[in-house]
Amino acid sequence: MIHRFFSFMLPVLTVSFGLSSCSTQDSNKDKTEDAKLKESRRYDLSLRDRLEFFGKLPSVAESKENPITAEKVMLGYTLYYDNRLSANNTISCNSCHNLAKFGVDGLQFSPGDAGKLGGRNSPTVLNAAFHATQFWDGRAKDVEEQAGMPVLNSVEMAIPNEKFLIDRLSKIELYKMLFAEAFPGEPNPINYVNLRKAIAAFERQLISPSRLDKYLGGDSLALSVQEKKGMMSFALVGCTSCHNGALLGGNSFQKFGVYQNYWEETQSAKHDEGRFEHTHNEADKYFFKTPSLRNVAETAPYFHDGSVKDLTRAVEIMAKVQLKYTLNENEKANIVAFLKSLSGDIPENFKKSPVGL
């Protein structure tokens, strides 16, 4: 009898203990999650007065001078991927600004049509339409002007002159159709101005919102506690003095090496004089356009000369030479975590060559 009683009770007791254990685990998990939520909200409150340094990425990059149309974007999309925009049909815009790789090629310097390397790192084309100027030295005012310059650059795409390219494109049936559709009513729509406008219209579609935008839009859980810590450090250390606004950069020129020569830390072989090489103004020596930090975790190597491959090292160098501040290991880890929250993507269809090219 006793034996049978215990035989009957043991499964019951086992189930009871099991339920008790699960209940305890669930309770502990709830407490942990609650603690995390409280910590996250605490950082939300701390960041409240710092959010003025940041901005939500706009959803549209319109231009009054170059209104965007679907036909213009389609033409620009096709031109962007076409190797025939280079002298020997070897490279396209996408070769150096690969849209499947966040708008870069991952190289220190990009090879041109004849294989010769450029002198500065190719920046990402994503969100470039929002920049105040284009190129590291700001020599182009917008993406419309920028779009035509690499094509005619002897080191890059090496087309000898505008007429050479327009004559080439005018013989291609696809472009006869696409230019006519993009610029209806024009007697000679295949021209260099329209080529620049079309490529720029396409580039104005390359906008990559990230989790930061969700956070700035009111979603407190879009960023982790560590990312919020990094955002706080980013502001307190002084990074926002140059990297601010919706792009976290792209809107000013700053001297690279405020407190010491940048090459002492980067070990750069060439001491690039930056904007001075374009303006020949002594005051512009070693000044470069402050790059946007959007997608920075995906676009190594870093700086105008691609001299640093590691993001943590790049952050460390910037704090040291720009702010005269030595970051501790926690600050570096947290800032890098925050920078990773800036990674966003573009429509999948733009990451591959258009059908029919």
Three-state DSSP class for residue 332: helix
The structure tokens listed for 208 are 């990559």
Closest CA relative to residue 103, chosen from 128, 85, 78, 76:
128
Tokens 């965007």 found at: 68
**Distance separating alpha carbons of residues 213 and 221, to the nearest angstrom:** 12
- How far, in Å, are 42, 118, 188, 338 from residue 303 at the CA level? 34, 14, 42, 19
Beta strand pairing call for 287-289 and 253-255: antiparallel
- Rounded distance between C-alpha atoms, residue 192 and residue 216, angstroms: 40
Among candidate residues 185, 197, 202, 192, the one with its CA nearest the CA of residue 74 = 202
User: Tell me, what DSSP letter sits at residue 192?
Assistant: H
* 111: β partners: 117
Say if residues 136 and 288 touch (Cβ distance below 8 Å). yes
With b for 16 or more beta-carbon neighbours within 10 A and e for fewer, the 81-97 pattern comes to bbbbbbbeeebbbbbbb
Question: DSSP state, 249?
Answer: S
Contact predicate 288/133, CB 8 Å: no
Task: Give CA angle at 62 (58, 67), nearest 5°.
Answer: 160
156 is catalytic: yes
Pick the catalytic residue from 156, 227, 298, 316.
156
Residues forming the active site: 156
